[in-house]
Structure 1
């Protein structure tokens, strides 16, 4: 009984720290999406240049996904997470010292290297800490932390910039990350509470093997499509609300929180549904969510007022969140713990590659269509259509056990 109670406390501690890590991670990542509004005025940037600044981060961020995952498999998630948190916090502070378009490109690229190992390493921590039957809920709580960061982040960041300036905002966020890194260094020890999945794990799967597995490729493509929508919306929605819907910076931040709140609720519900009712049937949630997102985005384009923008934006975000949780939960259930970093690093590579493409592509499309954001949103609809089609082809064995170091076979 004491052992059970101790394990529960350790799991709660690990998950709590990871949630705060995701909140800070999201704050630091989305800060540029709001800051770029005053930055573009100060430096005289075009939409394409704004997209390049945002995409420069995702280029290095994408490259680090499989590298960070593989490192977490080899040396443990704790070291990778702590060093990543310290690195990206320092580089967040440095971003506040940017003086030109090229300096922003350089700092955001380095920031991506610092932050890129965190997602896959955190996935390894979940596998080290939680049994399979609890991983869907654990992952949904972790993703909810990111949504909390989205709910609070845009509003807080916009308020800081409005009252001070964008440079001071980056300094504040960076120091907050360094403080959190101290807590991780002292209290974050997932390896000490490994459960039965780690005890039975055998040969580790290499990155090369992950890239040869059909299931991993399908999940990577699905996550790519979902992430095009996520990062495209995150990058350009603030500018859309200010320039097209004529909101001021603080009002924009308030409006942006509403879809994020609905997304947060959806994420928490999704994890519970996946653990309780959809083992082996995760693809149906991916298909449903993708379809819901497509329809909502189409209606969003034709929104006659800000009220409809909020409603359809919220429904779109809910659909994307359904598909997102199902996609990222599948490797936790169908990949052995010893290979979690390599497998999820590949999937996250797809998502962050979308982060490289989406901001610049949307900026280019908007500029080519004479400032029409509707053309950019059609690009998001097409990307989500890819996730829908590939999601329909998913087949996995309906079982609760994985073979040591091996992926389940795709039917």
Structure 2
């Protein structure tokens, strides 16, 4: 048990650095838009370029992890994404910025399936929400930490130098992972996999409605999530008129609420509610949708931040049970590839979200339509996961293990 949690703590450190590099551009958005003379639609294209690259590498990254082991991907990916983080500081045109962010997405996307694969290979079904919850907490802590740090660097050194400084953590974490993550044959595999293997081929898996419900739910969730993640700092600056110093701290508050939601959900979905993960996910996304609606309609800045905290609490709170459901439905012998396929669908939603929000902001000069889009997407995701419950229940049965359903 101790060795497995040491492993996920290393994955936590990697994801913390990952999100430092991923979210700093959202904090720098207003400054970069002025410096490069680009509008909201153009910056939406920049955000979408990352998610496109991230999506394109999900399946290849998963296949490589299944074939060669996850460690190689985990060590090489931070070196590559750190290179493109630094190159972001050199760009002079919109085209160059889009190209660099596309490559940055390719680099980060190459290792994503490896994280899930290691948890799926080393944790039993009931433990997977907790195992994933450990490293996924970095998805909330990272953005919370990067907001004030990025704002400080922007004020002290400018946005270009900010990206130069952010190359350092990725290079350091690559060294840590090289020495800390066990080689493929050394990991203790004491989990008890329950998912059906690939003896009947991928076609049988994709004939199951449950597989498509997972992918639809994951795609629509990412529409809401990446709209929230990519545009929240810009919304606070452009619509709520927070200055740069206040933005750094104001933008970090919802992520701290998200961390609380993630920890609570990881515990619930690994203990008393582990049999009801799809219902827990559905309830969380419906609550997040309501919170985003209330965010836009809040009359005061404090009310806006309070509702953003509620939205983050439920959005991040759904990470552990969603990851556990994904691993339960997927095949034991192809977890990396299956997660890669599911994440490709998910990132397709992430690609669309910043483009839609940016387009709506430019046309209407308001974030109202963007919030409506995110709310609708989260409701669709909730319905998809709610419909998934019978299939997850079957995945946990002996009949599923024998391939009889």
Shorter chain as normaliser: what TM range? over 0.9
Confirm or deny: 8 A CA contact 2:197 2:332 kept in the other structure. Answer: no
1:164 aligns with 2:157: yes
Residue 342 to residue 274, structure 1, CA distance change in 2 (3 Å): same
Shift of 1:12: 2.9
Paired with 1:207 and 1:100, the residues of 2 have a C-alpha distance of 43
Q: Helix, strand or coil: the match of 2:252?
A: helix
Pick which of 104-113 and 32-41 moved more: 32-41
Pick which of 38-47 and 200-209 moved more: 200-209
Paired with 1:366 and 1:135, the residues of 2 have a C-alpha distance of 39
Paired with 1:290 and 1:310, the residues of 2 have a C-alpha distance of 18
Q: Indicate the residue corresponding to 1:4 in structure 2.
A: none
Report matched runs for 1:79-158 at 5 Å: 79-158=72-151
Shift of 1:270: 0.8
Q: Indicate the residue corresponding to 2:393 in structure 1.
A: 397
Confirm or deny: 8 A CA contact 1:15 1:138 kept in the other structure. Answer: yes
Confirm or deny: 8 A CA contact 2:125 2:192 kept in the other structure. Answer: no
Shift of 1:148: 0.6
Q: Determine which of 373, 383, 390 is the counterpart of 1:379.
A: 373
Report matched runs for 1:309-328 at 5 Å: 309-328=304-323
1:365 aligns with 2:356: no
Paired with 2:127 and 2:208, the residues of 1 have a C-alpha distance of 25
Confirm or deny: 8 A CA contact 2:123 2:192 kept in the other structure. Answer: no
Q: Determine which of 45, 54, 78 is the counterpart of 1:52.
A: 45
Pairs aligned (count): 401
Residue 279 to residue 408, structure 1, CA distance change in 2 (3 Å): farther
Q: Determine which of 322, 327, 335 is the counterpart of 1:332.
A: 327
Pick which of 72-81 and 192-201 moved more: 192-201
| Deviations 1:176-197, CA, capped at 9 Å, x for gaps | 1011101111111163123244
Paired with 1:64 and 1:321, the residues of 2 have a C-alpha distance of 23
Paired with 1:407 and 1:393, the residues of 2 have a C-alpha distance of 21
Q: Determine which of 330, 342, 346 is the counterpart of 1:347.
A: 342
Q: Helix, strand or coil: the match of 1:277?
A: coil
Confirm or deny: 8 A CA contact 2:55 2:109 kept in the other structure. Answer: yes
Task: Normalising by structure 2, report the TM-score.
Answer: 0.92
Shift of 1:213: 3.8
Confirm or deny: 8 A CA contact 1:222 1:387 kept in the other structure. Answer: yes
Shift of 1:254: 0.8
Paired with 1:235 and 1:193, the residues of 2 have a C-alpha distance of 36
Q: Indicate the residue corresponding to 2:26 in structure 1.
A: 33
Residue 206 to residue 163, structure 1, CA distance change in 2 (3 Å): farther
Residue 242 to residue 353, structure 1, CA distance change in 2 (3 Å): same
Paired with 2:31 and 2:277, the residues of 1 have a C-alpha distance of 42
Paired with 2:67 and 2:334, the residues of 1 have a C-alpha distance of 9
Residue 150 to residue 176, structure 1, CA distance change in 2 (3 Å): same
Residue 211 to residue 399, structure 1, CA distance change in 2 (3 Å): closer
Q: Determine which of 298, 304, 326 is the counterpart of 2:299.
A: 304
Task: Normalising by structure 1, report the TM-score.
Answer: 0.91
Residue 25 to residue 211, structure 1, CA distance change in 2 (3 Å): farther
Confirm or deny: 8 A CA contact 2:122 2:191 kept in the other structure. Answer: no
Unpaired runs of at least 5, structure 2? none
Confirm or deny: 8 A CA contact 1:128 1:190 kept in the other structure. Answer: no
Shift of 1:398: 5.9
